[in-house]
């Protein structure tokens, strides 16, 4: 029989429904896999084996007595460590919160619990979700399962690596400027950034409040549809949560692309993109055409401003959000001679260099005399970027583009060059700035490493995105490739 940890969520659900396997056996298989490969991958910050097996046994009992609560009932998932989990350490990959145990669940976590999902543990990430490689974690770097000398991407690198290494059937990540999509591409898995407001941010430790969004990672678009269906929907605890109805995402997966108009923006094939990445993405777009989609060249003219706009808005919001970490109410405190010295020591010693860099960038952009020149102007250009997408979606149903300009780079390769690291997100930032949804599906390999195709959709039209991703995966087998760990 197939090793259970290699199953997709949809496959595992069918076997659970038929009684051929149990959630306990499925969960044990994941822990056996974690024991076998975790020392190479290093995806987990906290492994909650006792809790997970208890949840799995409970799911089995409920299935026997009353049937499944949901499509996720008894399915083992893992959670990025920026999402609050009651009674389980939530560190955000930072020394600042090394021993913080939340007294509440994030809404997305509460909804997974209500669906009967099993939580395997908490996953490594760049500190406070700031980074593109998961090298900025205060604890250790995560490694790409396809080549452990390379990064998995970031900031949800632990989430992507755990799925790619077959340690979990799916995972939650968060995406502020590409932090679900870029690691999904670099690790050869499927990842979805929902529309801003589609999934509650309550209990997601804030980085950029106007950008952050929780999203799923798994092997297939179908699996991402299952997870999104469980966590999406309005939440009165989050003022930015949209009161939009949640459709049946699985019902939209008809395997059909006929009649879809897909735009290809010329601005996304950027200078410096690796030729192998461009060729692989263009071949994937040709495959969409072969399936009946109409391919249209479009322009998103303000794309070139997305990088500077993001690196003003996101650090400014981070500067405000991270002001709460002062060592007084929660988190670590590094004592000094007086309050101000204690504050300086706490923040100086317990935030890592990338977090300090972004706080300083953001504080500068918000400071007197510079606010209008930087933050206000960035917000004005953000409106132009959003307008580009509105105009494009008047002509096309979806946009197809690269996810990252390169395949996964070597660990340490960009350590002395923050700009090179920031450029890794050049293809994912515009959709985040505009608040529109983006789906990444594996579409091939370059230099023996995975490449991801990024599909971008209209606001709150994740159903069409998932339909296109699922149809692409019916016609290709890239999502079936597994690393030889």
Residue 353 lies in a domain: no
Q: Three-state DSSP class for 379?
A: helix
The Cα–Cα gap between 77 and 454 comes to 23
For each successive 10 residues of the chain (485 residues), what is the average pLDDT?
90 96 98 98 98 98 92 98 97 93 97 98 96 95 98 97 98 97 98 98 95 98 98 97 96 92 94 93 97 96 94 92 79 76 73 87 85 91 97 98 96 84 90 98 97 98 98 97 94
Residue 219 within any structural domain of the chain? yes
Residue 390 lies in a domain: no
In a domain, 42, yes or no: yes
Domain membership flag for residue 307: no
Catalytic residue among 29, 155, 159, 319: 155
Determine, yes or no, domain membership for 20. yes
pLDDT at 302: 96
In a domain, 467, yes or no: yes
Domain that holds residue 241: 4-263+395-480
334 is catalytic: no
What is the number of structural domains in the chain? 1
Q: Which of 23, 137, 179, 200 is catalytic?
A: 179
pLDDT of residue 363: 86
pTM (2 d.p.): 0.96
State the catalytic residue, choosing from 23, 80, 94, 174. Answer: 80
Angle between the N-to-C axes of helices 49-66 and 23-41, in degrees from 0 to 180, rounded to the nearest 10: 160
- Cβ-count burial 38-71 (b if 16+ within 10 Å, e if not): beebbbbbbbbeebbbebbbbbbebbeeeebbbb
Residue 324 domain-assigned (yes or no): no
| Residue 80 annotated among the catalytic residues of the structure | yes
118-175 confidence digits (pLDDT tens): 999 999 999 999 999 999 999 999 999 999 999 999 999 999 999 999 999 999 999 9
209 noted as active-site residue: no
> Residue 340 has what pLDDT?
75
| CB contact at 8 A, 268 and 482 | no
Q: Closest Cα partner for 120 from 82, 150, 77?
A: 77
- Residue 120: give its domain's CATH number: 3.90.1300.10
Which H helix or E strand runs over 340?
A: helix 339-350
């Amino acid at each position: 029989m197939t090793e259970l940890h290699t199953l997709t969520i949809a496959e595992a659900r069918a076997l659970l429904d038929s009684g051929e396997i149990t959630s306990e056996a499925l969960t044990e298989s994941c822990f056996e896999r974690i024991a076998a490969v975790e020392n190479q991958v290093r995806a987990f910050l906290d492994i909650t084996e006792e809790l997970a097996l208890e949840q799995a046994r409970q799911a089995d009992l409920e299935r026997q007595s009353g049937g499944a609560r949901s499509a996720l009932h008894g399915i083992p998932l893992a959670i990025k460590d920026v999402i609050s989990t009651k009674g389980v350490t939530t560190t955000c990959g930072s020394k600042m919160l090394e021993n913080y145990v939340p007294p509440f669940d994030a809404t997305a976590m509460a909804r997974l619990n209500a669906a009967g999902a099993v939580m395997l543990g908490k996953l490594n990430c760049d500190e406070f979700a700031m980074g593109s490689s998961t090298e900025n974690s205060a604890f250790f770097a995560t490694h790409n399962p396809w080549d452990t000398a390379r990064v998995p991407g970031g900031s949800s690198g632990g989430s992507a690596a755990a799925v790619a290494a077959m340690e979990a059937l799916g995972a939650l990540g968060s995406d502020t400027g590409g932090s679900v999509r870029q690691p999904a591409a670099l690790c050869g898995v499927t990842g979805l950034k929902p529309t801003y407001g589609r999934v509650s941010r309550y209990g997601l430790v804030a980085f950029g409040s106007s950008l952050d969004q929780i999203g799923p990672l798994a092997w297939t678009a179908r699996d991402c549809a299952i997870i999104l269906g469980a966590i999406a929907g309005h939440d009165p605890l989050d003022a930015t949560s949209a009161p939009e109805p949640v459709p049946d995402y699985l019902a939209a997966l008809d395997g059909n692309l006929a009649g879809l108009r897909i735009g290809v923006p010329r601005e996304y094939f950027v200078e410096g993109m690796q030729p192998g990445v461009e060729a692989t993405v263009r071949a994937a777009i040709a495959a969409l055409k072969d399936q009946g989609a109409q391919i249209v060249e479009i322009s998103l003219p303000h794309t070139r401003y997305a990088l500077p706009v993001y690196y003003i808005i996101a650090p400014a919001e981070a500067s405000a959000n991270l002001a709460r970490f002062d060592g007084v109410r929660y988190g670590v405190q590094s004592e000094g001679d007086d309050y101000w010295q204690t504050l300086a020591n706490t923040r100086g010693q317990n935030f890592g260099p990338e977090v300090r860099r972004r706080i300083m960038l953001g504080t500068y952009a918000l400071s007197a005399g510079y606010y209008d020149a930087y933050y206000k102007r960035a917000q004005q250009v953000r409106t132009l970027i959003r307008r580009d997408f509105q105009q494009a979606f008047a002509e096309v149903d979806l946009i197809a583009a690269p996810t990252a300009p390169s395949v996964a780079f070597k660990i340490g390769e960009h350590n002395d060059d923050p700009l090179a690291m920031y450029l890794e997100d050049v293809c994912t930032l515009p959709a985040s700035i505009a608040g529109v949804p983006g789906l990444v599906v594996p579409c091939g390999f370059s230099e023996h490493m995975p490449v991801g195709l990024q599909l971008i959709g209209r606001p709150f039209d994740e159903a069409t995105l998932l339909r296109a991703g699922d149809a692409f995966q019916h016609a290709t087998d890239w999502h079936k490739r597994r690393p030889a760990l």
